[in-house]
Amino acid sequence: MKIKSAIIALLLVINIGLLGAVVFSIAGGSTAYAQAMPGSPKYLMVTGRYRETEQALYVVNLERRMLAVFTFDQGKKKLTYNDRASLAANLR
């Protein structure tokens, strides 16, 4: 019975440790880090809040200097293409 109690105690300690790791990872927030690829990057992607229930994804084509905007409706779980614009023409 001592071995059974020791195994149960060990499993309990491991589960508490795993629960603590999950809580700390959730409390830290979600942050994405970009990694540079060899050569020059061709696209830049940025996310942000668009409206109360929507998130926006901005995709910049650095070679063509174009910006595309996509929105994600959290309620409908749907990604929608909104519009595109020329950065060269609009940022003169």
Placement of tokens 């409706």 in the chain = 73
Residue 65 confidence (pLDDT) above 70: yes
Q: Which helix (H) or strand (E) holds 8?
A: helix 2-27
Q: Which of 57, 58, 50, 45 is nearest to 85 (CA)?
A: 58
CB-based contacts of 41: which residues, under 8 Å, 6+ apart?
Answer: 62
Local confidence band at 68 (pLDDT 50, 70, 90 cut-offs) = very high
Q: Can you give the pTM of this predicted structure?
A: 0.52
Between 87 and 27, name the one with better pLDDT: 87
